Amino acid sequence: MIDVLRHQLNPEARILPKEEVDELLNRLKCSKTDLPKIKLEDPVSVALKAKQGDVIEFTRKSETAGLSKYYRVVI
Amino acid sequence: MIDLPVKYKEYAKSKGIDENEILKKYENSLIDPYLPIGIIAAQSITEASSQATLKTKHVVGIQEEVKTSATLPRLMEIFDARERPESPSMTIYLNKEKIKDLKDVEQFIYRKLVEIKIKDILLDYEVDLVNQSIKLIFDKNSISENMIDFNKVKDLLKPFNIEKDAEYSIVIKPNYKEFHKEALKIINKIKNITISGIKGIERAVTKIENGEFVIKTEGSNLKDVLELEEVDPSRVFTNDIIETYQVLGIEAARNLIVKEALKTLAASGLKVDIRHLYLVADLMCWEGNVVGVTRYGIVSRSPSVLTRMAFEMPVKNLVDASVFHEKEEFKYLFNNIITNQVIPVGTGKVRVVVKEDGNNGGNKEGS
């Protein structure tokens, strides 16, 4: 079994707890359906054991902004 | 409220500058409201790549031993999200504990990595129609060159009913009703049997980068290579975006799109700001799978009929839209240009609203 999350191309990922999701949606003033998506069968969501409707937070290494956060909702 | 990126926070700390001062500058350097970043990104990328068609590169010598396709076709491949690149290749970093010197690398490449088929060691074959048998003659030199155990070849040929085996030649007698018709098919089947290595990997070259061995291959098979214990599983890369998406997920695919596009542009000396590529890559990966910038991909997702029409196939799009009773809301760029209206970007988007209750203060509001 390959450890997908350890690969250099994949940014750090974690499932956001419920309170943080509410806080995030409040801050961005949007609903869950407006977020970018990730498939339920995607290797990353499989590795994190994510369920439908979860929000996964990625901490990307960006060349211009250092570290940046990106959110995807599991569909 | 905007958070200052970690990079700049560290910079402020190391130089002893007030963080708020940097934050002010950072906020000023962000884009303005209603700036058409998509159009700017499109312009910035196409302007640079139009130069790529004019420049033909002539490389002298064997500097790039693994071939790579030319700039513009490769860029089209990346942004169209094609299934298989024209020249798939992999970059493999090795596990330092398992592989220590060049001899280990060589053994790894020949024994485990590069795919060796029976046709690579087959010298000749004879079909005997009377006895309904095929004699396979193997090349002694290439067997020893590729470090192949001949007993393994015999094992692989067992399903074809071995009749006689001598040194470097095997007679097989397959049980088929119409042997004379099937003989060529059988031979082709035998030729494509994999003896050792990983399916799809045709050639491999070793390089030394920063004091460690790097293997570059022709052909790509990410899933199987990742499972080998001699490689460093965090640093195995392929240039196939769809394959990366299937094996490593959408975020990895997004990073690879940026990386490959930047590499391809840099290879012909073109400079495109990475922010434009980030935007395109994010858009291509928005839906959770990789969608190309084609009329079947991103463009087909647009809710505006005229935008789709302006891209490709106007008649088909207009007929479909009228059949399905689609509405045009004139929210985007192209449809407003077509109908000769103010485009909803920049100052075209902002309107001044005057309150009727006598207060003179107008306020800016997006319509």
State whether B294 and B329 are in the same domain.
Answer: no
Task: For B7, name the nearest residue in chain A, comparing CA atoms only.
Answer: A66
Nearest Cα to Cα of residue A11 among B16, B363, B180, B251:
B251
Q: Is the CB of A36 less than 8 angstroms away from the CB of B256?
A: no
Report how far residue B46's alpha carbon sits from residue A31's, in angstroms, rounded to the nearest whole number: 34
- pLDDT tens sequence across B177-235: 777 777 788 888 888 888 888 888 888 888 888 888 888 888 888 888 888 888 888 89
State whether B215 and B259 are in the same domain.
Answer: no
Asked whether B198 and B162 are in contact (CB, 8 A), the reply is no
**Amino acid occupying residue B306:** L
Residue B320, in any domain of the structure? yes
Q: Is the CB of B6 less than 8 angstroms away from the CB of A62?
A: no
Residue B306, in any domain of the structure? no
Q: Is 50 exceeded by the pLDDT of residue B87?
A: yes
Mean pLDDT computed over every residue of chain B: 82
C-alpha B339, offset from chain centre: 39
Residue B268, in any domain of the structure? yes
pLDDT value at residue B181: 77
State whether B289 and B340 are in the same domain.
Answer: no
Domain residue spans in chain A? 4-74
Q: At what angle do helices B37-54 and B250-267 cross, to 10 degrees?
A: 40
- Per-residue tokens: B302: 């647009």
Task: Please give the DSSP secondary-structure letter assigned to residue B5.
Answer: P
Rounded to a whole number, what is the largest CA-CA distance in chain B? 109
Measured at the CA of A12, the angle between CA A7 and CA A18, to 5 degrees, comes to 140
State the residue range of the domain holding B328. 315-354
- Per-residue tokens: A70: 């990106």
Q: Is 90 exceeded by the pLDDT of residue B280?
A: yes
Q: Which CATH number fits the domain that encloses residue B322?
A: 1.10.150
Give the architecture (CATH level 2) of A4-74: Alpha-Beta Complex (3.90)
Residue B96, in any domain of the structure? yes
Provide ipTM, 2 decimals.
0.95
Residue B181, in any domain of the structure? yes
Got the DSSP string for B120-164?
HHEEEEEEETTTTEEEEEE-HHHHHHTT--HHHHHHHHGGG-EEE
Q: Is the CB of B251 less than 8 angstroms away from the CB of A75?
A: no
Residue B367, in any domain of the structure? no
Using CB atoms, pick whichever of B6, B234, B289 lies closest to residue A7.
B234
Report how far residue B240's alpha carbon sits from residue B62's, in angstroms, rounded to the nearest whole number: 24
pLDDT value at residue B63: 47
User: Does residue A14 belong to the interface with chain B, where contact is any CB pair within 8 Å?
Assistant: no
Q: Is 50 exceeded by the pLDDT of residue B334?
A: yes
C-alpha A60, offset from chain centre: 10
Q: What number is the average pLDDT over the span B67-86? A: 80
pLDDT value at residue B229: 85
State whether B97 and B222 are in the same domain.
Answer: yes
Find where tokens 């799978």 sit. Answer: B289
pLDDT value at residue B183: 78
Last residue of a domain, one of B196, B230, B260: B196
pLDDT value at residue A68: 85
Q: How confident is the model at residue B360 (pLDDT cuts 50, 70, 90)?
A: low
- Per-residue tokens: B59: 């490389």
User: Does residue A13 belong to the interface with chain B, where contact is any CB pair within 8 Å?
Assistant: yes
Asked whether A39 and A45 are in contact (CB, 8 A), the reply is yes
Residues of chain A below pLDDT 50? none
Query: Terminal CA-to-CA distance of chain B, rounded, Å?
Result: 23
Q: Is B203 left (phi over 0), alpha (psi -120 to 50) or beta?
A: beta
Counting the structural domains of chain B, the total is 5
Q: Is 70 exceeded by the pLDDT of residue B59?
A: no
User: Does residue A19 belong to the interface with chain B, where contact is any CB pair within 8 Å?
Assistant: no
